[in-house]
Every structure is written in C-alpha cells, then in structure tokens.
Amino acid sequence: MTTQISPAPRSDLLGYGLAFAGAALFSTKGVFIKLAFAAGVTTEGTLALRMLVALPVYLVILAMLLSRRPELKALLTPKTLAASMAVGALGYYLSSYLDFAGLAFVSAQYERLVLFTYPFFVLLFGVWFFGDRMIWQLVPPMLVSYAGLLVIFVWNLTVSPDGLLQGTLLVLGSALTFALYQHLAKRQMLILGSGLFTCIGMATAAVLAIGQSAVLDGVAAYAQYDSYIWSLAFMLGIFGTVLPSFLLNTAISRIGARATSSTASFGPIVTILLAVVILGEAFTPYHALGTALVLSGSWLFAKKERQYKIKSA
C-alpha cells in the first residue's frame, strides 16, 4: 500500500479553492437541463447542445496549447491519446448521459444529492482497484449521508413515485462512473497535464454526444430551436461545462481525486437555491432534514479525510 503525501499548504489552498468553484458551477447544470426539458428538448438533444457550445472552446484551447508548447505533441502517443479519449468518454459522455437521463425522472435537488455521493465511490474504488488504504473512520459519515438520501427518497416515493427508482439508479450510475473517471483522469493528467487532457477528453465526449443526438433526433431538429433554447445551451456549455471542467481537473492534479471529491459539499446548496427559486421545486421539512444529513455526512467525511492525510504525511 502506498501513502499519499500532502502537497504544500499553498498548493492545497489553491487546489481546494478551484475544487469548490468547480463544484458550484457544475451544480448549475441541473437547473439548465430541467429548463431545456421543459422547453421540449430531448435528453440526447440537451446533452448535444451542451457539447456543441463547449466543443469549439476546447478545440481552440487545444490548438493554443499545442502551438505555444510544441513539446506536448511528443506526449500524444497513440496509446496515451487513446487512453485519454477513453477516460474522457467515461467521465464526460457516459457519466453525463446517465445524469441527464436521470434528471428526466427526478428533481434537480434530489439529483444533485444523489450525485453528491460520488466521493464515497472514489474512496471505495481507490481501495478496491488503485491500492489506497481503507479508512474505516469514513464509513459512519457515508452512512449519515445515505440516511439523508433515504429520507428524501421515501418522501418522493409517497408524493411522486413514478420514475423515482429509475431516475435514482441512473444518477447513481452517473456517480459511479464519475468516481472511476476521477481516478483514471488523475493518471492521465500526470502524463499530459490537466489542460491538454481536459481538451482531449471533452472533445471526445462532445463528438459522441453530438453523434448520438444526430442519429436519434435528426440534424433538422437543431434548426427548430429558438433563441431561448440556444441561450440555455450557452449557459450549460460554458458555465456548466467548460469552466468547471478545467477548475476540477486542475484541482485533481493539485490535491488528488479523493480530496477534490470531498469539497463537493457546496454544490447541493447552490442547486437547491436555484431549483427552488427558478424551477419552483418544493423544499419541505423532509428536504431540509435529508439535505442536512447528506451535507453533515459529507462534511465529516471531508474532515476525517483531511485528518488522515495530515497524519500520513
């Protein structure tokens, strides 16, 4: 077993700051997706619109990186390029598609809280597949968070049960795949750097998403979208995709996958506020209790994880 040594304090501070900012921006996407669904856009179409806006940005940044740093081209061996494309497809296409599909069945608040469990999967995958040491003190906080999810799940089951289980499983699938992505992405970023890897991974995911929508929805569907839908696509592509992807990947490269995932507690708060104000979603005492348990469990998880890193350094 190997022990990860904590980076320098200044690097830690910047890394955690980037992770918090990325988590907050990523948390806005559920609201934009719900608004797109309400406007009649399909799941595949919404994901494709997100990527249509984001893809040119990533391609421009990729061209700039390779132009200003020609030495990076030597890193793009067929094996490394294929691995980066595969990891990008896992994290930004498959995980995103499962998340988008789940949002068709559940509220934006609940989706964010379910997706919020991915730090626990990061821990488990690290132990099972990547040689990390199991920290048993992190198990009780995990149980607290899942108790919170159970409270909201039961409330939803009594009020609006249609599609709840299907939506929950889809979003859990998204959390699982994103947790695995974080471990694999860390390894690719050690080779390529966060910027180059992000551009390659996101461009790959964009091509897959756009291709899927072109087959299922038809290219003609895009001509029917009005300015409102394209404005949602812009917000989703830039503020819900491009900016947070670079922020989170840079954070992962600085403080690691487990520490980055532990900072996601700010995300659900942003989603809840936006969902209540913009989407008019309910926020009952059951939501308050469930959210408090989920966030408390995550806060305890992050605290104990940081204590472990300090002791192991």
254-277 pLDDT per residue, tens: 777 667 766 666 677 778 888 888
Residue type, 32: F
- Does residue 19 surpass a pLDDT of 90? no
- Give CA separation, 68 vs 64, 76, 201, in Å: 6, 15, 20
- Does residue 217 surpass a pLDDT of 70? yes
Q: Cα separation of 10 and 255, whole Å?
A: 11
Query: Is residue 281 very low, low, confident or very high in pLDDT (cuts 50, 70, 90)?
Result: confident
Position 246 scores a pLDDT of 79
Q: 3-class DSSP state for residue 278?
A: helix
More confident residue, 103 or 308: 103
Tokens at 139, concatenated: 């198990």
Of 49-58, 112-121, 124-133, where does the model show the most confidence? 49-58
Contacts of 302 (CB under 8 A, 6+ apart): 119, 262, 263, 265
Q: Cα separation of 165 and 148, whole Å?
A: 16
Chain-centroid distance of CA 129 in Å reads 21
Position 232 scores a pLDDT of 94
More confident residue, 305 or 205: 205
What average pLDDT does the chain have? 84
Q: Taking CA 145 as the corner, what is the angle to CA 142 and CA 149, rounded to the nearest 5 degrees? A: 135
The stretch 233-255 carries a mean pLDDT of 84
More confident residue, 143 or 101: 101
The stretch 85-105 carries a mean pLDDT of 94
Sign of CA dihedral 194, 200, 205, 210: positive
Position 310 scores a pLDDT of 58
More confident residue, 102 or 272: 102
Query: Is residue 312 very low, low, confident or very high in pLDDT (cuts 50, 70, 90)?
Result: low
Query: Is residue 176 very low, low, confident or very high in pLDDT (cuts 50, 70, 90)?
Result: very high
Q: What are the structural domain ranges in the chain? A: 9-312
- Does residue 199 surpass a pLDDT of 70? yes
- Does residue 243 surpass a pLDDT of 50? yes
Region of 254 on the Ramachandran plot (φ > 0 left; ψ -120 to 50 alpha; else beta): alpha
Which range is least confidently modeled, 195-199, 208-212, 269-273, 306-310? 306-310
Position 11 scores a pLDDT of 55
34-90 confidence digits (pLDDT tens):
999 999 999 999 999 999 999 998 899 999 989 988 888 888 899 999 999 999 999
Q: Which residue has the tokens 């404005």?
A: 231
More confident residue, 20 or 92: 92
CB atoms within 10 A of CB 79: 8
More confident residue, 59 or 130: 59
Q: Which residue has the tokens 């696509």?
A: 233
- Give CA separation, 155 vs 149, 218, 222, 251, 288, in Å: 10, 38, 38, 36, 12
The stretch 90-112 carries a mean pLDDT of 91
